Structures are given as C-alpha cells and as structure tokens.
Amino acid sequence: MKVRGKRQARQSQKVKELPELAKLPPLPCPEQALLQAFRLLSIDDWEKKIEGLTSIRSLSQHHAELLLPRLHDLCLAVTEEVKNLRSMVSRTAIVTLAHLYAHLGRGMDAEVEGTTRALLQKAGEASGFIRDDVELALGYMVVNVTPSRSMNALINTGVRHRNTAARKSTAQHLGRLAEVMGSSHLLSGKNKLTERFIHAISCLAVDCALEVRTHAHNTLAFLASHPNLIKMVERFVPQRDHITIKNIINKGQCRNLN
C-alpha cells in the first residue's frame, strides 16, 4: 500500500504540472447525448463536429461509465477528427482525447496505442498551438493510463518516427513517464519494461536532432543516481553506443551533485 501511495503521489504531482482541463456542465440526457455526439461527428459540418466533441468531453467528466461500452468506436471517431484539416476541429478533438485520458484513466488502456499514434502523427505534421494541444493530451495520457501501456504506445509509434517533432514529443513524454513511475520501478529489470525503456531512451539520446537528444539526456540524468542504471545500459543498449550513453550518464551524475 505504501508503494501505491507513493506512486499516486507522484502521479498527482505530475497532474498539477499540466494545465487544468475546462470543466463542463453535465448534459441532461446523457444516453441521448452520446448517440447525438456520434451523429454530429458523422456530419460534414465543422461546427456540428465541435458540438459533438464538446458533448463527449462533458460525458467523460460526468458519465464516464456510459462511454466504456462504446469506447473503441468513440476513440476511432475522435481520432478521425484529430486528422481533420480544419485546425479548430483538430484541436478540439486533441483536447477531447486529453479529457478521455483524464477522466477514464486506465479505462483507456486498450485505446492508447491508436490514440497515441494519431497524436504523434499530428505533432509531426502541425506546428504552434496544435503541437501544444498534442503535448497536453500526451501529458494526461502518461499520468493516467497504465504506465506499461503508455510506454509501449510511445515507443512503438515514436522512437523511429521519421518526423523530428514526433520523436521529440516521444522523448519528452518518456521522460515524464520515468518521473511518474520512479527509477526503482523502471529499473527493476524484472520484466521487458526495463529493457524496452532503456533501449528506447538510449536510442533517442543519440538521435540526429538536438531537441530529441536533449529530452533523452535529461531522462538519463534523472535516472543517473540509480545504482542499476549502468548495468542496465550494458545489458540492453547496443555495444556501439555504450561509451556515449555512459558519458551522458556521468554528466548527469555530475549535474545532479551541483
């Protein structure tokens, strides 16, 4: 129970660092509102789509249990609007995913892979405000769904993504995930979780783009005080990168002492 309490405290701390999501009033007839939301999203009218997405946000806040039986279809509909070429619709859909992560929590586990893929793809295509919205949604994803699910979704989609912005976002949120999970859990070495994380963050630490490397280096610095980190690097990182990654860790250790 103590471990769980500490983990929840870390998660709460991370949630506080995220911008607060807008609070919406409950809808009078939630069952009908859900059906109406699906109908509105199917209409080729951007204002209707935004109305439908706003209803989904309200339902996630006040009637989350109502969404669960149709969550897969709902997430497919919302992620389709993430791809919408009209920026207002796309941004509304992205923030709607943030609401779903925030209010449904681990109920979103089965949908993390598909929704994360859509968000990272959008981060790679867009700029400015849309990227900020993507960071918001991924931030809520990392602190609310099961950590192993969010880690796999980020790694599977983002580590080898051809777009620098998508890889940067992946590195940033793997770093946030490391803080949420804590170094002891992450570096326990008891399952594939440690291997996948260390391999991925080391890959990002030698990325060709500085902004990607910076986030990965910060994560390695965060983990640098753990006594098992070097051993895990030797086990799970390609030998050609051992010296580089160890140098990054050494710099992180020195920085942590200052």
- Provide φ and ψ at 247, rounded to 5°: -65, -40
How many C-alpha atoms does 230 have within 13 Å on its Cβ side? 10
96 vs 74, 87, 126, 218, CA distance in Å? 11, 14, 17, 29
pLDDT for 205 equals 98
How many C-alpha atoms does 126 have within 13 Å on its Cβ side? 25
pLDDT for 229 equals 95
Domain ranges of the chain: 30-145, 148-258
Q: Using the CB atoms, write b or e for 72-84: b if 16+ within 10 Å.
A: eebbebbbebbeb
pLDDT for 258 equals 65
145 vs 1, 105, 123, 153, 189, CA distance in Å? 19, 5, 20, 11, 21
Fold of 30-145: Leucine-rich Repeat Variant (1.25.10)
Q: Report whether 239 contacts 208 (CB < 8 A).
A: no
Per-residue model confidence as pLDDT tens for the chain (258 residues): 233 344 444 444 454 578 899 999 999 999 999 999 999 999 999 999 999 999 999 999 999 999 999 999 999 999 999 999 999 999 999 999 999 999 999 999 999 999 999 999 999 886 789 999 999 999 999 999 999 999 999 999 999 999 999 999 999 999 999 999 999 999 987 778 999 999 999 999 999 999 999 999 999 999 999 999 999 999 999 999 999 999 999 988 887 776
